[in-house]
Every structure is written in C-alpha cells, then in structure tokens.
Amino acid sequence: MAAVGLQPPGWHMDRQGGVVALELTGDWIAWETGVRSAGEVHAILDAAEGGTLRIDMSRLGGWDSALIAFLKMLGGAASSRTPPIRIDDAGLSATAARLLALAAPAGGATAAGPAKPRSSLATKVGGRAFDAWATVVEAAELVGLTALRGGAALGGRTRTRAVDVFQLVHEAGAGALGIVAIVNGLVGAILAFVGAVQLERFGAGIYVANLVGIAVVREMAAIVTAIVMAGRTGGAYAAHLATMQGNEEIDALNVLGIPVFDFLVLPRVTALVAMMPLLYLYGCAFGLLGGFIVSIATLDLTSVSFLEQLRGAVTGTQFEIGLVKSVAFGALVALAGCRIGLNAGRSAADVGRAATAAVVAGIVGIIALDAVFAVCANALGI
C-alpha cells in the first residue's frame, strides 16, 4: 500500500503524426510502488510501432531507481525491435539522463559504439614483444627479491613462519617419494633396455652401465624429478595462491601489513629448494636400480661387473652437476608457480588456468634451463 501523499505511477501516450509522446505521471518510488513489468514496456512499444517515442517527465512526481529501471528496460526492448524504435530522451531531466548513462554499460541495452579497428600485424607483434619483456622484467624482479629476502631470512629478519616451512617441506619431500621413485626407476630401466639392445650388437653390453650411470646421474634424475615436481607441486602452489587471490585473502594480508612475499612465496621457495637435492639423490638411487635390474635381466652381466663398471664411469663431478641442476630447477618451479598464482584472476576458472600455466611454464623452463647448463658445462669442459 502506498504511503500517504504519494500518487501511483502511471503513463499516458499521445500520437502526433510519426511521434508518440509518452507522458509519465505520479511517483515512481521503488520501495512503495515497485518497478514496471516487461508487459507494460511491450504494450508501450506496440502502441509506438512505426514512430519515434518521446519521453515527457513534466508531470512526473517523485522518482528513484524505479524510473531508471523502467527507462533501461524500455531502451533495451526498443533497440531489439525490427525495425528498432527510436527513443527521444530530450525530455529527461539532467539527473535522470546522467543516471541512465551510468547504468548503460552494466545493462548493455544501449546501442553499441563504433567498431574497434583491427590492429595491424606490426601492432600485434609489438604488443606481444612488450608483454614478453614485461614478463621477463617481472621474473627478474622476483628472482632478485628472492635472493634479497632469502638473505634476510637467514638472519631472522623476515615474517616467514617456521611451521609453514616445515609443512611445505613435508608436502614437497615425503609426499613426493612414491612418484619420484616410480618415474625415475622406469626411466633408468628404459635407458638400460635401449642401451642393451644397441650395445649388444657390437659386443659392448658392459658399457650399458656407463650409459645408465652418466645419463641418470648427470641428466635424467634431475630433469625427471623436476618435471614431476612441476606437475605435482608447482601446479599446487599456483592453484593455492590463485584460490587465495579469488577469496581476497591476499588483499587481506596486504591490508593487515603482512608481506605477501615473506608469508606465501618465500616458504614455498625455501621448501622446494631444500628438498630438490634430496629428491634428486633419491631419484638417482632408483634410476640406477632400475637400470641395474634390466641390465642383469637382459645381458650376460653379473651384479659385480655392473657395479664395478658403474663406479668407474660415474664420478663426483657428475653428482655435483646434478645437485646444482636440482637446486636451480627447484627454485624455477617454485617461483613459476608462485608468480602465476599471485597474478591469476579471481574466478574459479582462473584457478584451473593458473595451475595449467604453472605446470607448462615449469616444464618448459626446466628443459630450457637444462640446455643452458649443457652449453655451460661444454664450455667449461666438464
């Protein structure tokens, strides 16, 4: 029931040639009289078919969002008619015109603006180049910040919590032992089988121990373990941080004055960098074990001869190279996952995209970084 003094909203139409005047009367107050229905809008447009609809507010009383909602609905329905009905809004008050303009982008009922011109090939290439350079700069900044805050963490000058680091160490270390063992063991077995098939043709089956030892210790254990961690842990880091971004938890940390890098990024980088060398050695053991089992089963070798050949082929330098690679790969996977997670959008779909992008970036980065290590090792003669 309307309050005392309020007049019920109404409208009156008067056709004069090709122009239909829509005169609005009464008080259009949403909390008292509600908003007009779509049926009324269609009735008005049916009466104005084939002409211009001019809105007249001269006899209108009080109004609020109920009037703006009615005008929005009227404009949207008029533009969708075939042919569209032109609405003359010159009779609107300045306030109503401004509010209607503010509501236009959200409703999408107004006519579309001019089409955006297509970008040239040079513009597209330049834009991609600038985006790539911005990504490189951001990555370099993150690496530098990690080095600086890592040094501060050694002196106990960060807001990183030890309990978070220990939990992440357990997740990245003990939680990954099973998959690391299976994958590295199978890779070692595959290397031994392929090597045995080829070397046995030349009567050099004993050298399969050299092949398995050098390939696993120097290259495959570090790469395979890092790829496993990129898919298992790097994607989890990105998804976790992207979820926090969507839930506005990261915004809350910023408001409270808690450094996001110290609280979220540094513990993850520390945990993965600390665990990767241990996982690498663990992967080496299972990779060599897989190669040992396949070599003994497929070749006329004894376990003593295989182990003696392996001991002579694998030196401490090979382990040092693998350990350095594992540390670099661990930092790369952690930083890629954290960076992509922090830059993700706020929807549920963005969480999946962030996890996928982190896994892809981690794997590609590992292969590219391994190529850099290979070039450097060759230049140094090791």
pLDDT of residue 110: 41
Three-class SS of residue 78?
helix
* Cβ pair 88, 19 in contact under 8 A: yes
Give the DSSP H or E segment for 319.
helix 316-342
At the top level of CATH, which class does the domain 10-107 belong to? alpha beta
- The token duo for 105 is 């982008």
Q: Note the pLDDT tens digit of each residue in 215-260.
A: 999 999 999 999 999 998 999 999 999 998 888 888 888 888 888 8
Answer whether 0.75 is exceeded by the pTM.
no
Domain boundaries, given as residue ranges, for the chain? 10-107, 145-380
Pairing mode, strands 19-28 and 10-16: antiparallel
Higher-confidence residue of 22 and 351: namely: 351
The single-letter code of the amino acid at 367 is I
Q: Note the pLDDT tens digit of each residue in 86-107.
A: 887 777 888 888 877 777 654 4
Higher-confidence residue of 9 and 282: namely: 282
Pairing mode, strands 86-88 and 52-56: parallel
The single-letter code of the amino acid at 10 is G
pLDDT of residue 111: 41
The single-letter code of the amino acid at 376 is C
pLDDT of residue 8: 79
Q: Which of 285, 289, 301, 309 is nearest to 196 (CA)?
A: 301
206 DSSP assignment: G
Task: Name the one residue in this structure whose structure tokens are 């680091």.
Answer: 165
pLDDT of residue 50: 66
